[in-house]
Amino acid sequence: MNILRKNKRISASIIAAVIALTPVAMLAEGHNDHGDGYREADVVIRSMEQHQITLPQIIKTAEKAGEGIAIGVEVEDDSAIQTIEVTLLRDNEVLCVNLSPLTGDVVKIGSPEIIHSAVARLTNRYDSLKDNKVSLQEAVSIAEKAEQGTAYHAHIEDMDDWDGYEISIVSNGTHLRVIVDPETGRIVSRETRNNRHHKDH
């Protein structure tokens, strides 16, 4: 009898815990699925806009401070101090430059905690990447202007035998992924959520 009561109490506790955690789980799922990270970057983006700081300016500052070429930039607020993280390639070395969304100043320069496989594939191609006619900074400006929006993530995408700049933008509440050709500066494709549209610019 006592064992039965104890099992009922344990079952009730488990059900209560599941009910209590369900909204959090749903929120987390929505959080990850909303606009390729825009929701978590929203606070930082609003701060940048308020202080008239742009992603192209941030990239330029990071490249000067780290003496390298930008291969990725991401607005993030998953740390105690909200920052903009720029990944640089300098010779065959990968650097991580964190900048303030309030001032645009460099907060920290160091090595990234994790070097993703996509970045690792680019480390021995510094010479060819620095010869691109269009930089990541310029590609972000092109995409923002074309889409009348704000970029919150951009990186060089290694596409087999071709590199393209993949830029995530929010424009009038629509989340877009834009690919810019590093040789011509043309937007070669744009993707809205799961629908892909190609442009002939």
Grade residue 47 by pLDDT with cuts at 50, 70 and 90: confident
Q: Which residue has tokens 């993280």? A: 85
Query: Can you say whether residue 104 is alpha, beta or left, with left for phi > 0 and alpha for psi between -120 and 50 degrees?
Result: left
The span from the CA of 72 to the CA of 53, in Å, is 17
The span from the CA of 138 to the CA of 146, in Å, is 12
The answer for residues whose C-beta is within 8 angstroms of residue 35's C-beta and 6 or more apart is 168, 170, 175
pLDDT at 59 over 60: yes
The span from the CA of 127 to the CA of 132, in Å, is 9
The span from the CA of 65 to the CA of 21, in Å, is 44
The answer for residues whose C-beta is within 8 angstroms of residue 150's C-beta and 6 or more apart is 45, 49, 55, 144, 169, 170, 171
Task: Report the pLDDT value the prediction gives residue 21, as an integer from 0 to 100.
Answer: 32
CATH number at 38-197: 3.10.450.40
pLDDT at 79 over 60: no
pTM for this prediction? 0.72
Span 117-133, pLDDT tens digits: 777 777 777 777 888 89
